[in-house]
Amino acid sequence: MAANEMLHRIYRTVPMLFCGASLLLASACATTADLENMRQSINTTNRLQAIEQKKDMDDMKLKVSDLSKEVAVVRDRTAGAVKESTVEALRESQANIVSRVNELSKDVQMLKGRFEESKYITDKSVKDISSERELLLSRITGLENEVKDMKTRLASNPEPSKAAEKQSEEKPAVVDPQQLYDDAQIAMEEKKYSEARKNFEIIARDFPENQLAPNAQFWTGEAFYAEKKYEEAVLAYEAFLKKYPKHDKARGAMLKQGYSFIELNDKKTAKVILERLIEKHPTSKEAKAAEKKLADMLPKKKTAAPVKKKTK
């Protein structure tokens, strides 16, 4: 705006100068005083124009300074936006890290469960071997005693009657698995668990192809459990589950095996077995019993005692 005014004044002054010069040329009688006055007028005009130009330059410098300040403000705001975006990126990165840590924690829990299950299987295998070893030692001891008894009898009666031998050969002892099973069931009802268990063991051991063998093996575990011999019960149930994994009583064997581990204060192994039962047979009554038992195993929250109001 100031530059336009300055140009306007220049255009306005130039015609005046041309007019003055024309007058001078036209008038041959111009005086020295008139020339001096004209020169002073031109100098004054030039001075005013210089002052106005300086003012215009100052205004332009001021505008440039204002624009520089605005650029600085915009730059600061942009830098702040960059910082905010950087902070937001850091937050997203932190969230991703937390999510990844949670996934790794789940993987660790899964590996821990597999390790506990593998440890449980290993421990059971060791117990199975120990049980079989003890059973073999018991049988060897029994056979040794029988040999001693036979030697004693032979020493006292070296020539037994041929009639007795013939009679023993003609009438061998006959064992009826069904009769053994019925007698064992009666003994269980009468709470004679040891007697019942021996009959069940004979059926499972000597008649493995008989249709009563699976039930006899299951009831062997039940007899041990009733006698509160929980380690023996665990091994008996495990033998049943290995031989007859698809039998109807497999669910009951898993449930009672879990109960046995609870009685042995091994709640971790019991939890693994009961959860496996629920996973394999979710709609069975045994699964519902397992869920109830797992709920009972959870630590109970302590309820705060009611605050008694003070009587005035």
Higher pLDDT: 89 or 308? It is 89
Quick: pLDDT tens for 231-287: 999 999 999 999 999 999 999 999 999 999 999 999 999 999 999 999 999 999 999
Does 291 map to a domain?
A: yes
- The residue range of the domain holding 202 is 176-297
Does 147 map to a domain?
A: no
How much is the pTM? 0.45
Contact 269, 120 (CB under 8 A): yes
Averaged pLDDT, 6-18: 50
Quick: pLDDT tens for 150-205: 777 777 665 544 544 555 455 456 779 999 999 999 999 999 999 999 999 999 99
Averaged pLDDT, 103-126: 69
Quick: pLDDT tens for 29-71: 445 666 666 666 676 666 566 666 776 677 667 776 776 777 6
Are residues 180 and 71 located together in one domain of the fold? no
Does 108 map to a domain?
A: no
How many folded domains does the chain comprise?
2
**178-201 burial: b if 16+ Cβ within 10 Å, else e:** eebbeebeebbeeeebebbbebbb
Q: Compute CA distances 268 → 231, 238, 274, whole Å.
A: 16, 17, 10
Does 199 map to a domain?
A: yes
**The two three-digit tokens of residue 231, written as one number:** 């380690």
Does 194 map to a domain?
A: yes
Does 153 map to a domain?
A: no
* CATH code of residue 243: 1.25.40.10
